[in-house]
Amino acid sequence: MHKLALLLATLVCASCASANKSTQNGSWYNPNKTPEQTKEDWLNCDMMRQVAYHRPEVSGGLLTQMAAQSQEQERVDNIFVECMMSKGYVFTPSTNMVERAK
């Protein structure tokens, strides 16, 4: 039971962290889009990521299950990134945003 609780807590924490993975330390930028359009595009791409996610069915120990979860999270994060890029966005790290504001 303890292993199951640990696994569930790990999965919840991993999904929370990865939900913001594409916006941590920067933002998506498209000079031809308004902030409202950017928010709408981000939400649409995030919905695609959520729909594409499926919990991997893996037998084995906790580490095997965590590795499968990590691979799945990377796959759906890539879906989000490809979606944003297909809409003309570029990911701008925070350090570049400071330079652009000068």
Predicted confidence (pLDDT) at residue 51 exceeds the cutoff of 60: yes
Per-residue pLDDT tens digits for 5-23: 444 444 444 444 444 445 5
Angle (CA) 76 13 78, round 5°: 15
Q: What is the mean pLDDT of residues 39-55?
A: 86
Q: Supply the pLDDT for residue 59.
A: 63
Report which of 45, 25, 47 is spatially closest to residue 88, judged by C-alpha positions. 45
Domain positions in the chain: 2-101
Rounded distance between C-alpha atoms, residue 80 and residue 61, angstroms:
29
Could you tell me which residue, 57 or 31, shows the higher pLDDT?
31
Q: Supply the pLDDT for residue 4.
A: 45
